Structure 1
Amino acid sequence: MYEISDPPYVILVVGLFAGITSCTAFITTLKQLLKEWSSSRSTRVLANLRGFQLLLPYSGITVGICLFLASCLQVFTFSAMFSYSFSIPLTVLMAGLVWYQLTRLLIQLEQKGTKGIDLDDLSLGKMIPQKD
């Protein structure tokens, strides 16, 4: 008999939807706070960038990606136990590294301003084209 969780197509779609909607909220919040910071140059705004206001949609992205990844593995006939034991640590590790990188970028922005951001120091110089 077919069960709704075998394979978990519903969880796959829910995870993808949660990741996409949370990403949209994350980008909108980040743009809004950076625009506010550029007009006021207040360190309080940058502190908000590292706070709950940005962490909530980022957590939604993380949970959505984890559900999507685990569901994809289950679709390819891996067990649920293996899928989640692989997806959770991988997603937490990647999310932690990206959050650490974002925090370092915001600290550089706070200390040196937009002209002082060194993309090569953040290992982003090769991915983001720079104008001379």
Structure 2
Amino acid sequence: MYYFPQPPYFLVVAGLFIGLTCGLAFEATLKSQINAMLKKPIDQMLKGSGLQLPFFGICIGICVFLSAGLEIFLFDRWLSYAISLPMTIFIAALVWIQLESLLKQLKEGGSKAIDLDAFY
């Protein structure tokens, strides 16, 4: 008798939970250390700031969530992770670069350096 594999609903919930909890930790760490980071030199702002671990947790949670979602609807496990892992790494790199750029703008000109009217 052949058994169909069960969809990984638990992994969807676990990935979402990991991403959300690490996101909350990332937010709290960023808020608590923003004043100290602005006093450091620009090239050392994100190094040793304590933001890497929560950000890495967010990336893991998102990767698990995406791969489980792909596995439920379309693919097998290996193909799902082969798609979601490079996509998560690429998006995480873009977000990290954008965060560095935003913090550099804040350091150079304060909150007035960010033109919020450009987004609307």
Whether the TM-score (by the shorter chain) exceeds 0.5 is yes
Partner in structure 2 of residue 111 of structure 1: 108
Q: 1:98, 1:119 → 2: CA distance?
A: 18
Partner Cα separation in structure 1 for residue 56 and residue 67 of structure 2:
16
Deviation at 1:113, TM superposition (A): 2.0
Name the SS for the 1:90 alignment partner: helix
The 8 Å contact of residues 42 and 104 in structure 2, kept in 1 or not, is answered as no
Q: Are residues 80 and 68 of structure 1, via their aligned partners in 2, closer, same or farther at CA, if it must alter by over 3 Å?
A: same
Q: Aligned equivalents of 1:78 and 1:87: distance in 2? A: 11
The residue that corresponds to 2:8 in the other structure is 8
Query: Which 5+ residue runs of structure 1 have no aligned equivalent?
Result: none
Is 2:22 the counterpart of 1:19? no
Letter in 1 for 2:19: G
Tell me if structure 1 keeps the 8 A contact 2:42–2:107: no
3-state SS of paired residue (1:51) = coil
Greater fraction helix: 2
Computed over aligned residues only, the root mean square deviation of the Cα atoms, in angstroms, reads 2.5
The reply to whether residue 101 of structure 1 matches residue 103 of structure 2 is no
Q: Percent identity?
A: 41
Rounded to whole Å, the distance in 2 between the matches of 1:109 and 1:37 is 13
Which consecutive unaligned segments of at least 5 residues does structure 2 have? none
Q: How does 1:36-115 map to 2 (within 5 A)?
A: 36-37=35-36, 42-43=39-40, 47-48=44-45, 50-52=46-48, 53-115=50-112
Give the TM-score normalised by the residue count of structure 1.
0.76
CA distance in 1, matches of 2:41, 2:24: 23
Count of paired positions: 117
User: Could you tell me how far 1:63 is from its partner in structure 2?
Assistant: 0.5
Under a length normalisation based on structure 2, what TM-score does the superposition of the two structures give? 0.83
Asked whether the equivalents of residues 43 and 110 of structure 1 are also in contact (C-alpha less than 8 Å), the reply is no
Higher RCO, 1 or 2 (CA under 8 Å, sep at least 6)?
2
